[in-house]
Structure 1
């Protein structure tokens, strides 16, 4: 990744976070209209204003076809004014959503987001770019956690996203129910986004902040160019002087003898991890019932994978050994039907010295 791309991505993320915080404060101060959208027919949705409790609706429900090229044209001026800057809550029927129960070890709860994200292509018929998904709150029982995954193709709701952009909505949330017979009573949120800000004249507040910071950066860059040109000349002269000093030192340094060469080899031997020693250390610290299927050593990094009964416990055992540090999972822990345990993938740093520490 180029430096400019990394800077632009970091600035985009930072300005988006700032814009989200500003919008959160604005939401508390300014009461945005909330519009509930439900599918009435396969291609028709019904929009209803969510009025406060014990209050009469301000507008009659409206029906539109999001798939039409300009669906918002048929809306009344009152509806168009209400939709501009409103928060849209789109509710999908269970028939339009893929519902799948999931089960994981309790120790995998901190890694649920990453595990589901990496397995979305196996859990659903769509890849990560084609799907919108969410999952219910995990339920714990007998050292296992159960949850419900809800996913729908992005193409199904793309007309609704286009309609929200056409009418100038500020926020968009897509939820679905998993069915009345399921213990998951709360709706599952499968998508949420901020489209634009009412504080920035209907434009994306994060983009406005980003352009402002880029203008400041451009002005600063003009001032730095002259300094860089002058500094480059000075640095070139300094590099030439350092090169001359290095050549003089090399000419005055005596030739390295056999003793120095032997010391260099001994130092290299002590600072380079041996595969045999690593394997012997692992065999001592890993518990019975744990089987290492693959082991890779590259420089000071060790990667092992295999089967065990309690994958998270291996992290603590490896960390307790003085020969390893910074142990972590580099891939999700999975359980496959027919296997006796969990398949783990662990990465750790190999400490440089493996001799007696006395």
Structure 2
């Protein structure tokens, strides 16, 4: 089996083969707008009329404006000859709105179907204008090549000149008009010159827009570059300062740890001041069997003649609070003294490790 390549150029319902023509039609439509048409250079044209008299015109794209006098430079511009309406076969068509390429093809088909001359000897021209709705009114003129050559010879021009068919009111009106130009003579050179000039103007405008955009973007780019440089400098500074930053963090952690240790130390009681306070507070007939210190709480276990009186006496000591019997005092059979288990809270500012370390005494 021989594999055959598909010639289908449609993609998602779109005919890709028509894209170039559609883009070209869109470009032609844009260039025909008044704002862009004004950018096209005006081409001077010297038109030799049917009576042999010369008139001078300025043509911008296809729109011609008659001038009051000759050009400043006699050799400037292009030449054209006026053909009489009696020397052409005129037809008027009404067509739907078409692109330039489609309109040219429709006119060509009309010429082929209606020309009374041999096809290779037929020359034609047309001008289109917008009609009602989406319709176009097309003015078509046909003649033979021999007739066109005769018109040029009558005007004393060569075949590089153009052949114009002017509207009836164009000879006296000062308003711009669109002459019907027969194709196949010298009009192509003028059209190329006009298109080239328009492209140059558009190119300069595009360059100006690029320069303006560059001027507008430059401050932003400079600020961005400065910000990038500042970020790079900051990263380099951070890399250089990383060891010092690590040492600083270590120092801060150590300082925080010392602060916690100091707080704990200020809350812890020192045994010598506590013993000294209890020694002074206990009466002669009392003694301690055990002593427990937990934070600022002291638990004293011992014997005394009167445990309740001892509790009151301990509560009167400076820096002592919350004195109570954690369990009832008991006296065994035959014993003369009461066993007590007293719990109290001592002020760490008076009996604490910090005060003891600084040499303070209660």
| Fold in common (TM above 0.5) | no
TM-score of the superposition, structure 2-length normalised? Answer: 0.26
TM-score of the superposition, structure 1-length normalised? Answer: 0.27
Larger radius of gyration: 2
